[in-house]
Amino acid sequence: MLTIALKMLFNDKAKYFGIILGVSLASMVITWQGSIFIGIMTRTVAMVNDMAVADLWVMDPKVQYTEDIKPLQDTELNRVRGVPGVEWAMPLFKGTVRVRLADGTFQNCNLLGLDDATLTGGPPSMVEGRMEDLRRADAVVLDFVGARDRLARRNPDGSIQRPVQIGDELEINDRRGVIVGFGRTSRAWNNLPTIYTTYSRAVLFAPSERKQLTFVLAKAEPGQNLQDLCDRITRETGLAAYSASQFRWLTVGYFLKYTGIPINFGIAVGLGFLIGTLITGFMFFSFTIDNLRYFGTFKAMGVSDGTLLRMVMLQALVIAVIGFGLGAGMAMLMGSGAANTQLAFKTTWQLLFVSGAAVVIISMLAAMLSIWKVMRLEPAVVFKG
């Protein structure tokens, strides 16, 4: 009987493709919008992801997310280094500076100042040049994408003449910066280019303030429990200390709570779910009505309601699997096509699980109307007239 149910589904090609279209549309919208949402959230913690060498992030207790800069006194660095269980602690400067380009225009950039001795917290990988060259006079390293786009040399009409190259100079807050390399980094959520330099040089590039230390990057000694170490640092220094994972979730939580991002994407996903349910429900119900004579014949032949229920549920499940595969595949294909653009797109297995579950729910909701009609069907109706 289950084989017959599949033949009924596949042989009615018009209804079959209509149902698949509705499910695929819902699957594509949910996966697409969900991937963009995850991509944006991932970019908000790009700096933390790129500096995976640090186990702990120490900061002012009032900091709410990665861009919430509340500088510390430089003496706090030694206090963190003195906490038992800390293997090493390095300073990190983070700020925003204005760069004057060769054509006279200005471009805001993220500025990261790394420990002069160790250069801890640099780009995960270098495309060109060496991180050690940051120790040269006025040296800076740029992120590769920003160097080819926002910071590129341009023609008078605004078109890109050429990307900046090693040896080119930048004017950063009226100070000279010499490009010595390009690193491959994660894109920031604000899409600003990132400039790396030493800590001592970064505080000169940035506007002068009494406090300059933004974060302290720390490494735990082997065998140390990170939460216990965070509590110890907070207790002994009065500063906030988070593991890298905690700092990510602190940032993501801020954006979820204080911005309209989740509401906007939630509405888009909800509309995709609603439209998919309506289209699939209408088409599946129409398909069942067209095949009521077959279900009635099966009932007259002695087939139980439970078997008919399994037939309808199998049809709905097959539709869900095929529709989800097509919709998610289309979303992934579009996402891969936009991989080298500014579009934030990231798909995780958790998202695919949620999208698949939503598609199954849509198919089951669509099947409920059909099940109700089949269960109430009187076999004698089929033979009337």
Contacts of 81 (CB under 8 A, 6+ apart): 88, 89
> What CA–CA distance (Å, rounded) separates 98 from 106?
6
The pair phi, psi for residue 359, each rounded to 5°, is -65, -40
Pairing of strands 240-243, 169-172: unpaired
Q: What is the DSSP letter of 112?
A: E
pLDDT of residue 383: 58
pLDDT the model gives residue 48: 93
State how far the Cα of 257 lies from the Cα of 238, in Å rounded to an integer: 26
Is the Cα dihedral 47, 48, 54, 57 positive or negative?
Answer: positive
Chain centroid to CA 75: how far? 36
- pLDDT in the model for residue 148: 86
Amino acid at 261: I
Please give the single-letter amino acid code of residue 77.
L
pLDDT value of position 362: 81
Supply the angle between the helices 13-44 and 2-11 in degrees, to the nearest 10.
90
Q: How far is CA 336 from the centre of its chain?
A: 14
Q: Please report how many Cα atoms fall inside a 13 Å half-sphere around the Cα of residue 46, on the Cβ side.
A: 22
Residues 6 or more apart in contact with residue 98 via CB below 8 angstroms = 106, 107, 108, 109, 172, 173
Six-digit token string for 165:
């190259």
Residue 23 DSSP one-character state: H
240-243 and 86-100: which strand pairing? unpaired
- 3-state SS of 358-378? HHHHHHHHHHHHHHHHHHCCC
Residue 271's pLDDT is 84
- What integer pLDDT is reported at residue 381 of this predicted model? 58
| Largest separation between any pair of C-alpha atoms in the chain | 96
- Encoding tokens for residue 79? 């206090």
Task: Kindly report whether the global pTM for this prediction surpasses the value 0.85.
Answer: no
> 155-189 b/e with 16+ CB inside 10 Å = b?
eeeeeeeebbeeebebebeeeebebbbbbebbbbb
Give the CA count within 13 Å in the CB-facing half-sphere of 139.
Answer: 18
Per the rule left: phi > 0, alpha: psi between -120 and 50, beta: everything else, 112 is beta
pLDDT of residue 217: 96
Segments in the chain below pLDDT 50 = 385
> What is the per-residue pLDDT across 207-229, written as a single tens digit (0 to 9) for each?
877 889 999 999 999 989 999 99
The three-class DSSP label of residue 329 is helix
